[in-house]
Amino acid sequence: MRSLFRFRSSLLGLLCLLGGGALAEGSRHLYPASYPATASRASLDWQPASGLYVGRISRKNVLYTYAQAGEQILTGSSSVSGTTVSTLISIYAPGNFGTPGNEVLGTPVNTCTVASTVAGTPGYIPSRAAELAGPKSASGNGGADTWTPCVYTAPSTGVYAVTVQPRGAGSPTGSVATLDRAGQAVAAWEVTVRSDAASTADLLGRVFTYAFNGFTGGNNRPVTSNYYVVTRDGFRYRENFAGPTGLGVDPNGYAVYANSRGFVDTFDNSPLYRNLRGSNAQVDPPLGAPAVSAQAAEFPLFFVDPVQYAGEVNRVLTTLGIPVTPDTPTVTDPAFVNAQGGPRLVRGGSGTFSFTSNKTGTYQIVVSADGTDFDPENTRNRVLRGNAVIGRNAVGWDGRNNNLQLFASGSVRYQVVLNAGEVHFPLVDAENNPGAGPIVTLLNPPPGVANPNTVFYDDRGYVTKGGTAVGTLNGTLCPGPVPAAPTDPANLLGVDSSAVPYRNWGSGGNSNTDCAATAGWGDGKALDLWTFVRGNTVSTLDVAEAADLSVQKTVDNPTPVVGSTVTFTVTVRNAGPDATTNVTVSDALPAGYTLISAAPSQGTYAPTTGAWTVTPSAPLASGDQATLTITATVNPAGPYTNTAQLLSSDQPDPDSTPGNGVTTEDDQASVTPAPITPVAVVSKVAGATTLRAGPFPYAQTYVVTVRNTGSVPVTYSLQDTPALDPDVTVGTVTVSENGAAPVPLPGPAPYTLAQGRVLGAGAADTFTLTVTLAVVQGATDNDVCTGQAGNGLFNTAFLTVGAMQTRAFDCVPTPRLPDLRLQKSGPAFYRADQALTYTLAATSDRAASGVVVRDALPVGTTFVSASDGGVLSGQDVVWTLGDVPAGTRTLTLVLRTLPGARAGELPATLTNTATVSADQPDREASNNAGAASSQLVLVQLTKTVRNVTRDTAASTAGGGLPGETLEYCITALNRGVSVNNFAVQDAVPGNTAARTSAYGPDRGLRLGGAETGVLTSGADGDQGELTSAGGPAGAGLLTYRIGTLAAGVTQQVCFQVVVR
């Protein structure tokens, strides 16, 4: 089987730098000439396809060697079988090789194929004598039995990886004297560094690994080799497989490696300090996974003594970042604080230890039950372990011992230990351990280390920090007594590994299953062994008696009816661990209750203060409880929350503080009943939103509803009272109850609808009132319900339940008579044969009915059209609008005036009047009519001609012969309103020539009528011009600007022409 020893690396950065392990020098240092004849050889294993030991270590060997530029790396192997199968030795340049123990290799920079058993073949180790003699120099120098190595000259300084792969057949025999040529392992192998090609001196201490895989080929082949480990903080250890009996370890296949945590409790990734159980040779996965796991290889492992060969080893350590001189661990300023912030442990409670560390490592805190015995495996003590950081560290503690029991009250002492140089040597699937070891020795102990051979182990069952059980807690790791566990199942104080056969267990077979009865106890297990350099300090801790008191409160009815009684029950319990005295609980009833009685199961209750003295004479023992029963009447108004709280106790409580009012603590409890008040609600809905203005009388309805919204029956009375404004009168009143036939209600108000009526929970009664009303028409214009007694019919229903009265009211406004107004607009002026458009705006400030707009046609007009359905009726245009809402209705009317032939019949002012009316009387009749007036615009023009040469009279027709003079006169008569900017133009007739000086030099226009005289012909700024060219006929143009032509005024202008 396989025994697995694991070292942790001394520097996390090293894992990324190197990624693999390497043995120093070669098999001649594992199995020197002094190696016992009764011991066996573990060949260099190469079976990477067989899986990983504890999920971390691959079954192959990656060796490392430190070489400076120009130095010689010499390699060799005995694993050669004739000429058909050869050994392959590969060298890899410095770099990152992945996870230590499970490396990933790239392309080698050098390979050597050992293909022949012929003496002198490079890399071939032919015999045991040759193995011990070592290789020749690169140039061929060497003594007897030396052999010819494969040679690689390092091109640069660094750490190189080396692999030696077997090429033989069959399994190894374990023989030391005979070099077997197995197909799975290499018996003899060599990796040596020398300074130059001629040198035969080995630079011992240059070669190392992180995981050495050995394979003996069977059981009863014990191994007694030495392995050397350096921790990341520089402490150097030797692990001697021979053990104190010298008989070694009998593992079959195994791996040797080391690290700082061994196996891991994954709850916080701290060292488990226990073993793993598995069901196969690899112990993968372990029982209890994922709560438990294994740490990867971490520390470099050498094959020569790192103290004896410190010169070359220190070169390697410096390259790996490991100090060559370790620091001694110290721990200072230990302290403890409980969960409440005090300096003592309250029994049943928890707290936190703290201390200051000068370096990283692991800590161990042992709380001693008797103050003198600090044995971590003592079940009456408590051991706490984890990872320490530089500076202040905090460690939680549940206050219990290793068997999870409480410490007794009094004073205890605790020891804080900081472990440096800590190293774990896991042993995987080692069926037998006849050497009862191994022996572990600290080679560079600092001052104060009493015994450098001290080791620690714990082969008992355990429970992880997350609660996963493996075996029986502090009992056997296996379920039963077979296979037999070591005679001393644990030693946490440390044992001298060189003097005492400390880890004996019975030999057995190889089952590769979990706790097989026929197998050796180590079969299918991964066993941890560890040691460290310690710094420690001891302090005293007081453990106080404690009583975990809790208060609970209940009520017999969470929804009582107001006026009924309720019973509160207060229970105070003592969960221990100790009895308690001077216990006082407060329970003062709030204002929502009136106390009837209080009955404590023990002690006394003071109603005035609400203080319940629970233990006036006898303590409340652990596990006991006391009760207080309070009976009270439920009042109509709260508050209703009733709280009970622990006020005092002589013994501290581990999880609460009496009297602090913190509701989340278990020493305070509250209940809040939700009292039920008999509740009924009343609602009232009127059958109309406004009272009509007629006809009268008419019936107005109201619906009054009483509803029980509570969960208990109610007894109620109901009355109804109408409050009227002066313009409303009430006649008869009837009521219909829940749909029954109406019955008269005798007056006067208030009217009783129900008296002492019982209404079930959730039920409702409906009352329909019919009130005969009359409204005085036109007597008021108040239509708004104001407050609770406004104008209109204001009706109130009064509901009485017990001493409580509620009401519901509905006000129906009385009608407001409308105020109708009519406004009319039209054109300011008019003329003959013109379409006149009028706009009528009929406005009502209230809704009105039977609305009619009437427009009388004025003299001189005829009807053309009307909007909104307006029609001509006789000499009136009528719009029948009917019922209209409050607002304005806009209408349009179009009329046409008489034609020009009848213009003389048109009045100077044309007035159009319209009126609006409704069925209701109008509050203000003076604004019911609207009128629009238009002024007539009418100027009549006449034109006459007379023959001046013949001296004929002026007439509307006439002419002359060429050379004769004609005079034209245009007369304007204004029969309408005065007009402004009035002008006359006339074209000089064709075939004539204008006489621009007919009435004097440059005097071509003669005026008559309102104004007389002559005007110049030129455009010289006066009122007229006469041209001899232009105009429509091209003969000239007359222009006369009269300006303002007043009403009734006549104005004439004349000019002369010569007929051509």
- What is the pairing mode between strands 263-265 and 292-294? antiparallel
> Three-state SS for 1057?
strand
- What is residue 355's predicted lDDT score, i.e. its pLDDT? 95
Q: What pLDDT band is residue 784 in, cutting at 50, 70 and 90? A: low
Cβ-based neighbour number of residue 641 at 10 Å: 11
- What is residue 781's predicted lDDT score, i.e. its pLDDT? 46
Residue 853 has pLDDT above 90, yes or no: yes
Residue 20 has pLDDT above 80, yes or no: no
Q: What pLDDT band is residue 855 in, cutting at 50, 70 and 90? A: very high
- What is residue 725's predicted lDDT score, i.e. its pLDDT? 59
What is the percent of the chain with per-residue pLDDT over 70, rounded to a whole number? 91
pLDDT per position as a tens digit, 388-442: 999 999 999 999 999 999 998 888 899 999 988 889 999 888 889 999 999 999 9
- What is residue 689's predicted lDDT score, i.e. its pLDDT? 57
- What is residue 680's predicted lDDT score, i.e. its pLDDT? 63
DSSP label at residue 257: E
Q: What pLDDT band is residue 793 in, cutting at 50, 70 and 90? A: low
- What is residue 9's predicted lDDT score, i.e. its pLDDT? 30
Q: Are 627 and 643 in contact (CB under 8 A)?
A: no
pLDDT per position as a tens digit, 559-584: 887 878 999 999 999 988 889 999 99
Higher pLDDT: 799 or 786? It is: 799
Q: Where are the beta strands (DSSP E) in 104-157?
A: 110-114, 150-153
Q: What pLDDT band is residue 84 in, cutting at 50, 70 and 90? A: low
Residue 203 has pLDDT above 60, yes or no: yes
pLDDT per position as a tens digit, 235-278: 999 999 999 999 999 988 888 899 999 999 999 999 999 999 99
Instruction: Enumerate domains of the chain plus CATH numbers.
Output: 4-260 (no CATH), 547-671 (2.60.40.1530), 680-812 (2.60.40.10), 820-936 (2.60.40.740), 939-1059 (2.60.40.740)
Task: Give the mean pLDDT of 755-778.
Answer: 79
Residue 5 has pLDDT above 80, yes or no: no
Please report which residue ranges of 106-260 form alpha helices under DSSP H. Answer: 128-133
The β-bridge partners of 460 are 476
- What is residue 12's predicted lDDT score, i.e. its pLDDT? 28
Task: For residue 755, give both structure tokens.
Answer: 């008296």
Place of tokens 């296996």: 478
Question: How are strands ordered across the β-sheet holding 887-897?
Answer: 820-825, 835-844, 887-897, 861-866
pLDDT per position as a tens digit, 642-659: 999 999 898 888 888 898
Residue 141 has pLDDT above 90, yes or no: yes
Residue 108 has pLDDT above 60, yes or no: yes
State the number of CA atoms in the 13 A half-sphere of 29 facing the CB.
22
pLDDT per position as a tens digit, 610-630: 999 998 878 999 899 999 999
- What is residue 291's predicted lDDT score, i.e. its pLDDT? 97
- What is residue 267's predicted lDDT score, i.e. its pLDDT? 95
- What is residue 947's predicted lDDT score, i.e. its pLDDT? 94
Q: What pLDDT band is residue 15 in, cutting at 50, 70 and 90? A: very low
Cβ-based neighbour number of residue 350 at 10 Å: 15
> Three-state SS for 317?
helix
Higher pLDDT: 594 or 507? It is: 594
Q: Whose CA is closest to 435, among 427, 423, 446?
A: 427
Place of tokens 């600290």: 442
Residue environment code for 36-53, b if the CB has 16+ CB neighbours within 10 A, otherwise e: eeebbbbbbbbbeebebb
Distance, CA of 208 to CA of 23 (rounded, Å): 4
Task: Give the mean pLDDT of 128-156.
Answer: 96
Distances from the Cα of 631 to the Cαs of 508, 588, 598, 673, 677, in angstroms? Answer: 75, 12, 6, 14, 19
Residue 51 has pLDDT above 70, yes or no: yes
Residue 469 has pLDDT above 80, yes or no: yes
The C-alpha angle with vertex 832 and arms to 826 and 835, in degrees rounded to 5, equals 45
Residue 367 has pLDDT above 50, yes or no: yes
Which phi and psi angles does 609 have, rounded to 5°? -105, -20
- What is residue 975's predicted lDDT score, i.e. its pLDDT? 84
- What is the pairing mode between strands 361-368 and 382-388? antiparallel
- What is residue 509's predicted lDDT score, i.e. its pLDDT? 85
Task: Give the mean pLDDT of 41-45.
Answer: 95
Distance, CA of 906 to CA of 935 (rounded, Å): 10
Q: 316-325, 429-438, 1013-1022 — which one is most confidently predicted on average? A: 316-325
User: What DSSP element (H or E) covers 629?
Assistant: strand 625-634
Average pLDDT, the chain: 87
Distance, CA of 625 to CA of 601 (rounded, Å): 9
pLDDT per position as a tens digit, 646-705: 998 988 888 888 988 898 888 899 999 988 776 666 666 666 555 555 445 667 787 888
Q: Say which residues have a Cβ less than 8 Å from residue 617's Cβ, sequence separation at least 6.
A: none
Task: For residue 763, give both structure tokens.
Answer: 């039920």
- What is the pairing mode between strands 929-936 and 1003-1009? unpaired
Task: Give the mean pLDDT of 790-810.
Answer: 67
pLDDT per position as a tens digit, 805-824: 777 766 666 566 678 999 99
Task: Give the mean pLDDT of 726-751.
Answer: 82
- What is residue 993's predicted lDDT score, i.e. its pLDDT? 92
- What is residue 68's predicted lDDT score, i.e. its pLDDT? 98
Distance, CA of 76 to CA of 60 (rounded, Å): 17
pLDDT per position as a tens digit, 920-965: 667 688 899 999 998 888 888 899 999 999 999 999 898 899 999 9
Task: Give the mean pLDDT of 275-298.
Answer: 95
- What is residue 798's predicted lDDT score, i.e. its pLDDT? 78
